[in-house]
Amino acid sequence: MKDYIKVDEWKIIEQGFNPHYNKISESIFSLGNGRMGQRANFEEAYSGETLQGNYVAGVYYPDKTRVGWWKNGYPEYFAKVLNAANWIGIDIVIDNEQLDLAKCKVSDFRRELNMKEGYLKRNFTAKTANGKLVKVESIRFCSMAEDESGAINYSITPLNFSGSISITPFIDGDVINKDSNYDEKFWDEVKKETWLTGGYLQMRTKKTGFEVATGMELRVLQNGKLIDLKTKPIEKEKYIAAQVVLQAQEAQTISIFKYAANLSSQNHAAGELAAKVKETLSRISEKGFETLLAEQAAAWAEKWKHNDIIIEGDDSAQQAIRFNIFQLNQTYTGEDDRLNIGPKGFTGEKYGGSTYWDTEAYCVPFYLSTADPKVTRNLLLYRYKQLGKAIENAKLLGFEDGAALYPMVTMDGTECHNEWEITFEEIHRNGAIAYAIFNYTHYTGDEVYLIDYGLEVLIAISRFWSQRVNWSNDKKQYVMLGVTGPNEYENNVNNNWYTNKLAIWCMEYTMEVIEKVKRKDREKYEALIKKLNFDEVSETDRFTDIIENMYFPFDEEHHVFLQQDGYLDKEQILVKDLPASERPINQKWSWDRILRSCYIKQADVLQGIYFFEDEFDIETIRRNFDFYEPRTVHESSLSPCVHAILAAKLGDEDRAYEFYLRTARLDLDDYNNDTEDGCHITSMAGTWMAIVQGFGGMRVRFGRLSFQPFLPEKWKSFSFNIGFRSTLLNIKVSKEGVYLKNLSGTSTSVMVYYKEQFVRANDELLVEA
């Protein structure tokens, strides 16, 4: 655990430069706008430890899978979001000495992420080897208003000399991915052009053929006055720059304004990219830096109006939840149904930037409540449009008749995870995708989605489950063999309770939706079953038979659902009895030892209880929670939030708060010693869930919102906004009670502590504690 980030309600602040923490800070201070993003690398040269990262959403490379033993059905590649052209670079040379913080004496260093207004600011004073002292300030952002653009204001002031300063803003496309399987570079140059105030570089990805034009336009002020910029254009392979040499005067500031654009062939014809990037550069440079910055602040103000959480009495918790919300909003905006949410977002390369089931299980609840319904709808459409690939994926594994197995990891719908126990066995991901359809329609009431898209996906998923089970003559029930549940510290197990539960729920829900669609639009239903060659009678009979005869492992002694067959054959040593020196076990133990242990990486049985809590009485939930949590090491960032929500439901407020703290500052304090690889973006949605569904006790019951809140002991109050079916509510929980404020023009009723409360349009009321 690190403790170097200063606490502030609206800012992330690093005071003083510690090069050992630099890669961690590059992750934490990352920027994005849903269309592009970047790690918080320095603009000037840096020869110290760094992980360079500039990313363009949806642009990826199929890096050939690297395995020792190829198996039938194995993915041919691992799709990776690419490190794209570096557009932030500004090389500074002071009297023939390059400014490089790894080689200078650095003082007054401060890095500040302003979450309220969406920009990164950095200040420092540097003393070169030759004794030259300069003060530098940089401000940059990825524009929310101009989402293919970014801007930098980089100012340098000589403090103890007058002399020559060479300034070379550049775009460098000769970049690599640290995680390249074969140390391959993934970009080829298409063309480039320079002019006196800028230029562009157009690159094409190998194999996939995506093209990205990255351009820059420059303005330079000296002592507050715009200079007639006459640069020396520089062109090299995969590189352009514009050099200007100025005679700097002591105490006079030179300001470089660098306007940049990243345009992709995802959104523009490849042949038009050059013209479009010039057009974009002209538009944003004419607006000017201050106007762009004001637009950025306005865009973020609108976002915070809908999804801010305010905590009184705990500045550390306040900073943490805003950081999590900030990163979620700059990772995904929901404007494009071809895009999704990678586990690291725009903050690093790990996990390839690809889509996992994290989106459906953890991110969907956040976007449902804090954004327009179309945002979540686009996440569902992303999967719908990849249904054909999911059917192909299932066919590769031997399934037939339109069965679909969605990929564990994907960019375009093709499975690209390269570990067999995940690729072939962690099939519960199918259930998460079905559950997201339920979650969306249950929350929004949008049943048209079921008619147009949802039922088609559900039938394909249910077909998969009906083929994946088999009849056990021994048990006289259906079983599911050779799977991996959410607890990836178990592989190739039989009858994982969570997977079996999801399978029958999917089939039940599919049949429920069939009846609903038949009632609402018989014509579309008949067209769909014809398209799918779906035999309703025989196939639903098969679903029903499986549902009624599915085997679930259960322990009569403890009265708990067994995680899988044979789980109690393992040596039952609780986590509290593990020596601290042996944790985390994923870094200290062999994989063989982990697989033979009883330890649980993340919620498994409890994930199912969280999804389907209404099916279980409180004592069943308590027994399973008290049995499994002491065996859970929480070595997945996705684990604490589910435990926080269930602990809150059980009235265990202390443990709920403990689990919240584990997830809220996971990256800010580098709990798992892995933040340098990137932030845990999808688990950040779990932090929001821990507050809203955990402390706020929010659920949707019978088409309306219900709350069972409690106030953590250390907090004076907390409040959050919830968008629900044309209403926007602010819920504030304090010692006095629960304040309900209707911020919309539509009256609504909600349940608070099981009692109905009617809140008129633009009105508020207090439900006393």
Report the catalytic residues. 488
Beta-strand relationship, 105-114 and 97-98? unpaired
Taking the C-alpha atoms of residue 755 and residue 766, their distance in angstroms, rounded to an integer, is: 13
CA distance 671 to 582: 16
Q: Reply yes or no: is the peptide bond before residue 712 cis, omega within 30 of 0.
A: no
Q: At what angle do helices 618-628 and 639-649 cross, to 10 degrees?
A: 140
Strand, coil or helix: 92:
strand
Q: What is the DSSP string of 394-408?
A: HHHTT--TT-----S
- How many CA atoms, within 13 angstroms, populate the side-chain half-sphere of residue 76? 5
- CB-CB neighbours of 279 under 10 Å: 14
Residue 241 makes CB contacts below 8 A (sequence gap 6+) with: 91, 168, 169, 170, 171, 194, 199, 233, 234
Q: Tokens 């079905």 label which residue? A: 434
Give the integer Cα–Cα distance in Å for 508 and 516.
Answer: 13
136: closest CA among 151, 122, 117? 122
Q: In 583-671, at which residue ranges do the beta strands (DSSP E only) sit? A: none
Q: Helix 522-532 and helix 497-520: axis angle, to 10°?
A: 130
> Sheet holding 717-724: strands in order across?
309-312, 717-724, 727-734, 737-742, 764-768
CB 81 within 8 A of CB 409: no
Element containing residue 506 per DSSP (H, E) = helix 497-520
Tokens describing residue 251: 């105490």
DSSP state of 581: G
Of residues 494, 497, 500, 534, the one with CA closest to residue 514: 534
Q: Is 719 helix (H, G, I), strand (E, B) or coil?
A: strand
Sign, Cα dihedral of 600, 602, 604, 610: positive
Q: What is the distance between the alpha carbons of residues 401 and 395, in angstroms, rounded to a whole number?
A: 9
Amino acid at 257: F
Three-state DSSP state, 315: helix
Backbone angles phi, psi at 353, to 5 degrees: 70, 15
Q: Running DSSP on this structure, what letter comes out for residue 570? A: S
Choose among 48, 60, 58, 62: nearest CA to 19.
48
CB burial class (10 A; 0-12, 13-18, 19+) of residue 109? middle
Question: How many Cα atoms sit within 13 Å of 348 on the Cβ side?
Answer: 23
Structure tokens at 211: 């093209």
In the chain, the largest separation of any two C-alpha atoms, in whole Å, equals: 89
State in Å, rounded, how far the first CA of the chain is from the last one: 37
Residues in the chain: 769
CA angle in degrees (0–180, nearest 5) for 622-626-631 = 145
Strands 163-172 and 149-158: unpaired
Dihedral sign, Cα of residue 473, residue 477, residue 483, residue 488: negative
Report d(CA 445, CA 587) in Å as an integer.
45
Task: Tell me the three state secondary structure of residue 681.
Answer: helix
